[in-house]
Amino acid sequence: MAEKIVEEGPVTAEGKEKLRLLTVVRGETLRNRDIYERPPKYELFFPNFVMKELCVGLAFLIIIFMWAYFKDSPLYELSDPAETPSHIKAAWYFVGLQEMLAYFDPYLAGVIIPSMILAGLYLIPFIDPDPVKGIGRFAFKERKFAIGCFLGGVAMWYGLLLVGWFFRGPYWSFYWPWEDHSVVKATEVALWSFPLPAGIAFLVCYGMLVLILPAVIFQNFFFRLGLIRYLITFNLFAVMCFVPIKILLRSAFSVKYILVTPWFNI
């Protein structure tokens, strides 16, 4: 039987207030659920969870067996150090790095940038200023900057990989998928580099822009991070954003290097 409970509220300056109706309790016996403590949102790790994972594994086992039965893994002709093929491609998961070689010197594409990526990944737990936000769920709105940077990086890695795999032909020239790879493309257009002062000016301006501007615009963010974490975060951010900038300069404006020095080029 339902019973309406309306109590008189405390006396305030405006006079007596009435409390809202909070709930209607049905006068029946309590059900099992209310008596026994049972974690309703949890299941046993073993056997429930493990069995489910195993089922997914078995499904993939079938897929792999079918795949292995119908499609042979590639094996090309015996290696020949004397003959460089016109069409060298690394394993598909490294084609992103190989694609970067088209825009950067090998020390940047193969060593510095991958090292920065890995350093950034290792540092993530220590440069994230918030210890609790969004654990265990997809909180895109609350972690816009973190998730934006991460997904931006992932998109760039796989974007370069796709370009390298599908749009590159002999001698790493750009081919549209419908173009014939046997037609050798004309040699590269003449590239030019920034003169030294312009290069230094460009890099200094870029550094100032990425390192100082966010601190001025998002002051709360800056104080929440603290100076050291802020500098680490935005140095990594600057490197990440530099990759598409250089790619754009190279492919749209034929810029070979931004900075040319006797020791290294950027």
Partner 1 sequence: MKWVPLGLVRYTVCLGGLSVFFFLLCILTGPFLMLYYVPDVNRAHADVMDIMQVVPFGAFVRNVHRWSACLMIVCVPAHMTRVFLQAAYKPPRQLNWLVGITLLILTYLMCFTGYMLPWDQEAYWGATIGATMAENSPFLGAKGPFSVLPPDKDIHYIMLGGTVLDQPTLSRFFFAHCIAIPGALAGLMGFHFFNIHRAGGMSGPL
Q: Which of residues 40-59 bind partner 1 (CB under 8 A)?
A: 40-46, 49, 52-53, 56-57
Give 255's strand partners: 192
The tokens for 127 are: 């440069």
Query: CB-wise, 15 or 81, nearer to partner 1?
Result: 81
At 61, which helix (H) or strand (E)?
Answer: helix 50-70
C-alpha span between 177 and 251 (Å, rounded): 18
Q: Is 79 among the residues that bind partner 1 (CB under 8 A)?
A: yes
> Of residues 3-42, which lie at the interface with partner 1 (CB under 8 A)?
39-42
Lay out the site mask for partner 1 across 115-154 (x = CB under 8 A, - = otherwise): ---x--xx-xxx-x-xxxxxxxxxxx--x--xx--xx--x
Phi first, then psi: what are they for 131, rounded to 5°? -80, -10
Least Cα distance to 184 among 199, 172, 166, 202 occurs for 172
Query: CB-wise, 73 or 187, nearer to partner 1?
Result: 73
Query: CB-wise, 140 or 208, nearer to partner 1?
Result: 140
Query: CB-wise, 15 or 40, nearer to partner 1?
Result: 40
C-alpha span between 265 and 250 (Å, rounded): 14
Using an 8 Å Cβ cutoff, are 89 and 165 in contact? yes
> Of residues 150-189, which lie at the interface with partner 1 (CB under 8 A)?
150-151, 154
Instruction: Give me the least distance between CB of 187 and partner 1, in Å please.
Output: 21
Q: Pick one of 88, 198, 205, 245: the residue that binds partner 1 (CB under 8 A).
A: 88
